[in-house]
């Protein structure tokens, strides 16, 4: 696999992780009041986990001389 292909694939993964974090956040803040106590913590944990994944991917992109992009 060529360097450009690796960077493109990593950027796709990076964007997917950031999008997943936003989806978890959206779910956490739009829960019905009766569901908040039971599920909000799970969704917020999902936010944190996916942002950690995004950070690892962004670091790998930088290490390879790439720039993390959200396209």
Cβ(28)–Cβ(49) below 8 Å: no
Cβ(14)–Cβ(61) below 8 Å: yes
Instruction: Report the C-alpha gap between 34 and 20 in whole angstroms.
Output: 24
pLDDT tens per residue, the chain (71 residues)?
899 999 999 999 999 999 999 999 999 999 999 988 899 999 999 999 999 999 999 999 999 999 999 98
Query: Which positions ≥6 away from 29 have C-beta within 8 Å?
Result: none
């Amino acid at each position: 696999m060529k360097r450009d292909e690796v960077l493109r694939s990593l950027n796709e993964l990076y964007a997917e992780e950031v999008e997943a974090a936003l989806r978890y956040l959206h779910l956490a803040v739009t829960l019905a009041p009766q569901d908040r106590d039971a599920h909000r913590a799970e969704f917020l944990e999902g936010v944190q986990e996916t942002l950690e994944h995004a950070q690892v991917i962004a670091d790998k992109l930088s290490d390879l001389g790439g720039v993390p992009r959200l396209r």
